[in-house]
Amino acid sequence: MGRGRLKMELIANERARKTTFQKRRKGMMKKAYEFSILCDLDVCMIIYGPKQTDRPPELHTWPENRDEVDRIINKYKASTMRKPAKKTFDLSDLLRDRKTKVHVDIYRARKEMYEAKYPTWDERIESFSENQLGALLNALDTKLESGKRTLLNKRKQSAECHQHQIHCMEKQHQTK
Amino acid sequence: MGRGRLKMELIANERARKTTFQKRRKGMMKKAYEFSILCDLDVCMIIYGPKQTDRPPELHTWPENRDEVDRIINKYKASTMRKPAKKTFDLSDLLRDRKTKVHVDIYRARKEMYEAKYPTWDERIESFSENQLGALLNALDTKLESGKRTLLNKRKQSAECHQHQIHCMEKQHQTK
DNA sequence: GTATCTATATATAACAA
DNA sequence: TTTGTTATATATAGATA
């Protein structure tokens, strides 16, 4: 699409890649929107943006309203749950058995990092010692519990966002 | 797109709707694939097909490999579970902050605190803001997750699937 | 970086077999 | 109904401001 055919591989030039990211993200969002309207579907999209050296990858979703995303994810999980061989891992799981697994995890993470050419934000974290990480996870464990409550409250607030979003896209569509 | 302009509303005719669904689903999948390759992203898509009178709506995902979907969903959950709501904050800030220097040798710190009755390192961690903890913890378990899953051997078979999938799309791409 | 601007590549709605 | 074809509508790569 566009003036030249694009090789199906990572776009080397960072600026071009970022531009393409923005354009295509917009395109995907629009498609997802249209798709859900035309066919009356539940569509959900999760996109983790390009790796950046200084910060964690940005998160984009469709719909932008995270409550909607969660709703569809729950629907997904519910329909997948029957299948026995699968266990989902969330943070609770991670923290619960970190004591037995964290050492190996960190070892692997570090190995990956060692092989990586350029360190990313996440990888910098990995350079901390096992002891440091272990202690940190320990400390965060308790802290997190209280955090969950706070966050549950935050979720309630964004109900109108989605509506507004839809409205904008329809408006945009009419002008063509 | 196509011979006629389509009104942005539910396609009334069921057959036409189903056809459109198939075509657009294929298109979205391709876009998602290209997007993830071109920009090196984690992209995940959940689509619940048109409501049907007789059976539950079909579920489609990208990637088709459900383990991959779960991986990205977990990543999403881990990050939204504790994403800061207002205060801008990233790791750079965290690392710059003297109090949060994780470079401190944990043993030394603990020993020091033990003897001098300073607050423990863990306690200092407790005093960090929710945002700081969130950013840090998010970075940690995002990275640890892959190792964890690998440990539990959940990915082996599915990895082949994904490769196959990719292969097909690339093949398809080449023939154009 | 950001915002347009086109020339082309793609996607796909309506048809057709 | 499925598959293939084609005319158009869209998306977007590269260029430019």
**B167 occurs within a structural domain:** yes
* Same domain (yes/no): A26, A76: yes
Q: In the prediction, which pLDDT does A53 show?
A: 67
Of the pLDDT bands very low, low, confident and very high (cuts 50, 70, 90), residue B57 is confident
Q: A70 to chain B: which residues are within 8 Å by CB?
A: 80
Which nucleotide is closest, CA of A5 to its C1'?
C9
**B54 occurs within a structural domain:** yes
Both structure tokens of A71:
């709703």
A16 touches strand C (CB under 7 A): no
Q: What share of chain B is helix, strand, coil (3-state, %, to 5)?
A: 60, 5, 30
Comparing every residue's Cα with the C1' atom of nucleotide C15, the nearest one is: B3
Q: In the prediction, which pLDDT does A139 show?
A: 52
| C-alpha Rg value of chain B to the nearest Å | 24
Measured distance CA(A125)–CA(A105) in Å, rounded:
13
**B5 occurs within a structural domain:** no
Q: In the prediction, which pLDDT does B38 show?
A: 94
> How many Å apart are A4 CA and C6 C1'?
12
- With a cut of 70, say whether residue B115 has pLDDT above it: no
Q: Could you list the residue range(s) of the whole structural domain that residue B152 is in?
A: 128-176
Q: What share of chain A is helix, strand, coil (3-state, %, to 5)?
A: 65, 5, 30
Buried/exposed A32-58: b ≥16 CB within 10 Å, e otherwise: bbbbbbbbbbbbbbbbbbbbeeebbbe
Lowest mean pLDDT among A104-113, B118-127, B134-143, B165-174: B118-127
Q: In the prediction, which pLDDT does B132 show?
A: 52
- With a cut of 50, say whether residue B91 has pLDDT above it: no
Comparing CB atoms, the residue among B74, B140, B173 nearest residue A88 is: B74
A1 in contact with chain B, both atoms CB, cutoff 8 A = no
* Same domain (yes/no): B68, B18: yes
**B9 occurs within a structural domain:** no
**A8 occurs within a structural domain:** no
Query: Is residue B134 within 8 Å of residue B80, measured between CB atoms?
Result: no
Question: Between these two residues, A71 and A158, which has the higher pLDDT value?
Answer: A71
Q: Which long-range contacts (CB under 8 A, 24 or more apart) does A92-100 make?
A: A94/B141, A94/B144, A94/B145, A94/B148, A95/A137, A95/A140, A95/A141, A95/A144, A98/A134, A98/A137
Q: In the prediction, which pLDDT does B172 show?
A: 53
Q: In the prediction, which pLDDT does B158 show?
A: 41
Q: In the prediction, which pLDDT does A24 show?
A: 96
- With a cut of 80, say whether residue B85 has pLDDT above it: no
- With a cut of 80, say whether residue A29 has pLDDT above it: yes
Q: What is the DSSP letter of A58?
A: P
As a whole number, mean pLDDT of residues A50-65 equals: 83
Helical ranges in B106-155 per DSSP H: 106-116, 121-126, 130-151
- Mark yes or no for CB contact B44/A49 under 8 Å: no
Q: In the prediction, which pLDDT does B168 show?
A: 55
- With a cut of 60, say whether residue B2 has pLDDT above it: yes
- Mark yes or no for CB contact B40/A28 under 8 Å: no
Of the pLDDT bands very low, low, confident and very high (cuts 50, 70, 90), residue A55 is confident
* Same domain (yes/no): B97, B155: no
Of the pLDDT bands very low, low, confident and very high (cuts 50, 70, 90), residue B80 is confident
* Same domain (yes/no): A115, A133: no
As a whole number, mean pLDDT of residues B72-96 equals: 57
Query: Is residue B161 within 8 Å of residue B64, measured between CB atoms?
Result: yes
Q: What is the pLDDT of residues A145-173, one digit of tens each?
A: 444 434 433 334 333 444 454 455 545 55
Q: Token pair 């801008």 is at which residue?
A: B88
* Same domain (yes/no): A26, A74: yes
Could you give the maximum distance between any two Cα atoms of chain A, in Å? 59
**A3 occurs within a structural domain:** no
Of the pLDDT bands very low, low, confident and very high (cuts 50, 70, 90), residue B122 is very low
* Same domain (yes/no): A62, A113: no
Q: Token pair 């350029």 is at which residue?
A: A118
- With a cut of 90, say whether residue B112 has pLDDT above it: no
**Averaged pLDDT score across all residues of chain B:** 65
B31 touches strand C (CB under 7 A): yes
As a whole number, mean pLDDT of residues A18-43 equals: 95
Using DSSP, state whether A3 is helix, strand or coil. coil
Of the pLDDT bands very low, low, confident and very high (cuts 50, 70, 90), residue B76 is confident
What's the number of domains chain A is made of?
3
**What is the pTM for the complete model shown?**
0.58
Whether residue A57 is preceded by a cis peptide bond, meaning omega within 30 degrees of 0, is no
**A2 occurs within a structural domain:** no
In this structure, are strands A59-62 and A42-48 parallel, antiparallel, or unpaired?
A: antiparallel
Q: Is A79 left (phi over 0), alpha (psi -120 to 50) or beta?
A: alpha
**B142 occurs within a structural domain:** yes
- With a cut of 80, say whether residue A56 has pLDDT above it: no
- With a cut of 80, say whether residue B156 has pLDDT above it: no
As a whole number, mean pLDDT of residues A57-80 equals: 89
Comparing CB atoms, the residue among B66, B107, B139 nearest residue A131 is: B107
CATH code for the domain of A56: 3.40.1810.10
As a whole number, mean pLDDT of residues B130-135 equals: 53
Q: In the prediction, which pLDDT does A10 show?
A: 93
Question: If you write DSSP's letter for every residue of B152-165 in order, what string do you get?
Answer: TT-SHHHHHHHHHH
* Same domain (yes/no): B101, B144: no
* Same domain (yes/no): A95, A155: no
Among the listed residues A149, A143, A109, the one whose alpha carbon sits nearest the alpha carbon of residue A129: A109
| C-alpha Rg value of chain A to the nearest Å | 20
- Mark yes or no for CB contact A129/B106 under 8 Å: yes
- With a cut of 60, say whether residue B135 has pLDDT above it: no
* Same domain (yes/no): A136, A170: yes
